[in-house]
Amino acid sequence: MKLLVLNGPNLNLLGIREPDIYGKESYAALVRAVKEECRRRAIGVKILQSNSEAALVTAIQKAYGKYDGIIINPAAYTHTSVALLDAVKAVGIPTVEVHLSDVSKREDFRKISYVGLAAKKTIAGKGIAGYLEAVAFFAEGAKA
Ligand code: DQA
């Protein structure tokens, strides 16, 4: 199994960025934790962060035929990007949406998720552990 993990804008600033909301762990720590979980489960993984919507769309397009699952935290593009939703639908790769914070308990504009409309599962409010839960979801057969 091969997973593609995509992280959207400003997630590279984890640890610095609003730590009360997003936690004190760095982006490097997130990458380490996901890689370790995938190694433990013998799953191949590529992890990418971009501040650019276009780069994220291109990464999803390029995943076609190469990855068994996508784990995506589209960050602010969650709430705006029909292009990311369309890309996920276009490639037809099972996708899990992850958010570090509980977006359902924040501002109203964060309650809308475009990618979420195509996601098999959304995990929010569990910090970095949410990414590990997404890996487990794929490892255990992505059924829910
Ligand atoms: C986020 C939530 C989004 O609303 C926000 O724009 C982010 C991060 C999260 O992981 O909690 O950048 O996706």
Write out the two tokens for 34: 């996901």
Q: Which residue's alpha carbon is at the smallest distance from atom 6 of ligand 1?
A: 76
Q: Check whether 15 has a pLDDT greater than 90.
A: yes
Please name the residue whose Cα sits nearest to atom 9 of ligand 1: 99
Instruction: State whether the Cα torsion 73-69-115-90 is positive or negative.
Output: positive
Predicted pLDDT at 143? 61
Distance from the CA of 86 to the center of ligand 1, in angstroms?
20
Alpha-carbon distance of 122 to 55, in angstroms, equals 22
Q: Which of 52, 96, 100, 115 to mutate to test the pocket of ligand 1 (most atoms within 8 A of CB)?
A: 100
Instruction: Supply the pTM of this predicted model.
Output: 0.97
* Average pLDDT over every residue of 111-115: 97
Atom of ligand 1 nearest to the CA of 98: 10
Whether 22 is catalytic = yes
Helices (H) and strands (E) in the chain, counts: 5, 5
**How far apart are the CA of 79 and the centre of ligand 1, in A?**
9
Q: How far apart are alpha carbons 94 and 86 in whole angstroms?
A: 13
Collapse the DSSP code of 88 into the 3-class scheme (helix H, G, I; strand E, B; otherwise coil) and give the result. Answer: helix
What's the gap in Å between 83 CA and the centre of ligand 1?
Answer: 17
CATH 3.40.50.9100 is the classification of domain 2-139: yes
Q: What is the pLDDT of residue 144?
A: 52
Q: 99 an active-site residue?
A: yes
Assigned token pair, 108: 């109203």
Average pLDDT, the chain: 97
**pLDDT tens per residue across span 65-96:** 999 999 999 999 999 999 999 999 999 999 99
d(CA 123, CA 96): 8
